[in-house]
Chain A
Amino acid sequence: MTKTHVSLTVNGEKKDVLVDPRELLIHTLREQMDITGPHIGCETSHCGACTVDLDGKSVKSCTMFTVQAEGADVTTIEGLGSPDGLHVLQEAFKENHGLQCGYCTPGMITRAHRLLQENPNPTEEEVRFGMAGNLCRCTGYQNIVKSVLAAASEMNSAKEAAE
């Protein structure tokens, strides 16, 4: 059960870590890299609080071993925006009360980011279907859906203005 070197890119930075093969990606992010945006919620691949973007896919990082992420390009909520420069989605969640306790929010926003990359102009139904892997126990989802739709509309206006 030898420790293994893993090289991956996290939020644009090259990282080299030494892990046991059984170490889950969420633990490496949180405990070895101090990237604590992705949360451990259910730890059974249901809640989506640990969602990260990995090579263009939304992935539940509690259900992947770090060794499987060798060479991967990972983006977490920390890579999307910062306290000084909020991502459009973060701004939209703030403006539309898309969060209460905030525990699910990093996973929600990381997932919504990928959803809007794949479908920049989703209907409300498509947002609900596309966000179905993320659970929120506070908001009842209404304001989360509203936030994602608001961010989509904001991103589309910005794109049009740029063209």
Chain B
Amino acid sequence: MIPAAFDYHRPDTIDAAVGLLAEHGEEARVVAGGHSLIPMMKLRMAYLSHLVDLRDVQEMQGITVDGDTVTLGAMVTQHELITSDALASVAPILREASLQIADPQVRYMGTIGGNVANGDPGNDIPGLMQALDAKFVLAGPEGRRTVDARGFYEAAYMTAREDEEILTHIRFRSVAGMGYAYEKQKRKIGDYATAAAAVLVAKDGDTISEARIAMTNLSDTPIFSEGAGAALVGTSGDGAAVAAAIAAMQADIDPAEDNRGPVEFKRHVAGVMLSRAINSALSRA
């Protein structure tokens, strides 16, 4: 499978990359790890005449923890998310989730920027970013702007990012001390989730003081379920509270039947994943 021909660009600054997108318009696409885009190019489902490779853009590399603020360059790979001890101490949920993405070879190449910017409902990191209340930094011809992860996703592959913008950085506050879990059901290694749940909880004594819940691949966008979180707050996280959280989550998701199963099955698995994730997160809070 050989993709259609294109011109290759390898800028070394964000401004140069944005300039190339502005110059070539819809004909240009950026590539980070390439493990979503290159397969689509080979299948001739992605058309482009100019490929803008971001691998030399140093500004988009690296994991920075500055006090309470965590900044991830968009080119940080899933392998780096897994192996960074600095990140594990402020947001261990990222390691737990990244280990469940694809396979080792893909994780060496796949980037966090690609995972969150692509807008594929199957990607694992977007829901996680909504639980973390992350902000995405977008660079475009007009300068830079910041968009909340919770407001970024509009529909499958449709996001708040404009065509000539590049998602360059991700920022969020440390969640050190919060209980966390990412539970994912998939048919086999490398598969997208049939259903997955990201949970962050904080406790005050035996009472849950804060709970943030997001679901993956159960709608055409990730779903941040405020109702599910609210159902846990003020409780001890007992069976009745978990059942209430699952009921609230069920009202927010809208799964579609596909080769991972019918709607009823997906709703069932979503409930199981959320229940497991809440219990696992509580055991770590």
A residues with CB within 8 A of B: 1-2, 4, 20-22, 24, 43-46, 48, 51, 57-60, 63-65, 67-68, 70, 111, 115, 129-133
A-B contact pairs, 6 of them (CB 8 A): A20-B5, A43-B42, A64-B109, A67-B8, A68-B53, A132-B189
* CB nearest neighbor in A for B53: A68
Q: Are A64 and B105 in contact (CB under 8 A)?
A: no
Alpha-carbon distance between A20 and B69 when the two chains are bound, in angstroms: 43
Select B104's contact among A64, A67, A70, A111, beta carbons within 8 Å. Answer: A111
| CB-based contact A43/B1 at 8 Å | yes
| B54 smallest CB distance to A (angstroms) | 11
| A21 and B5 form a contact (CB under 8 A) | yes
Complex Cα spacing A148 to B14, Å: 43
Of the candidates A24, A67, A129, A133, the one whose C-beta lies within 8 Å of that of B105 is A133
Which one, B8, B34, B105, contacts A111 given CB within 8 A? B105
Instruction: Flag if A21 contacts B35 (CB, 8 Å).
Output: no
CA of A21 to CA of B41, assembled, Å: 13
B42 touches A59 (CB 8 A): no
Q: Beta-carbon contacts of B1-12 to A below 8 Å, as 1s and 0s? A: 111111110100
Q: Which residue of A lies closest to B190 (CB)?
A: A46
Does B6 lie within 8 Å of A63, measured CB to CB? no
Known: A58-B104, A65-B38, A133-B106. 19 other contacts (CB 8 A): A1-B5, A1-B7, A4-B8, A22-B2, A22-B3, A22-B6, A24-B2, A45-B38, A46-B190, A57-B79, A57-B109, A59-B108, A59-B109, A60-B105, A64-B109, A67-B53, A68-B34, A68-B53, A129-B104
A159 to B42, CA, bound (A): 44
Asked whether any CB of chain A lies closer than 8 Å to the CB of B22, the reply is: no
Contact A63 B190 (CB under 8 A): no
Q: Is the CB of A68 within 8 A of B55?
A: yes
Answer whether residue B51 sits at the interface, using C-beta atoms and an 8 A cutoff: yes
Interface residues on B, range: 20 to 34
* Residue B85 interfacial (CB < 8 Å): no
Closest to B51 in A: A21
B103 at the interface (CB under 8 A from A): yes
Q: How far is the CB of A120 from chain B (nearest CB, A)?
A: 16
> B39, B42, B103, B106: which has the most chain A beta carbons within 10 Å?
B103
Q: Are B1 and A132 in contact (CB under 8 A)?
A: no
Please tell me if the beta carbons of B6 and A57 are within 8 angstroms of each other in the complex: no
Residues of chain B within 8 A of A60, CB atoms compared = 105-106
B34 to chain A, nearest CB (A): 6
What chain B residues lie within 8 Å of A63 (beta carbons)?
Answer: 34-35, 38-39, 109
Interface centre among B4, B39, B79, B104, by most chain A C-beta atoms within 10 angstroms, is B104
A130 to B55, CA, bound (A): 25
Considering only CB atoms, which chain A residue lies closest to B9 in the complex? Answer: A21
Which B residues are CB-close (under 8 A) to A58?
A: 104-105, 108
What CA separation (Å) do A64 and B5 show in the bound complex? 15
Closest 9 CB pairs of A and B: A133-B103, A21-B8, A57-B108, A1-B5, A133-B105, A132-B189, A132-B103, A67-B8, A133-B104
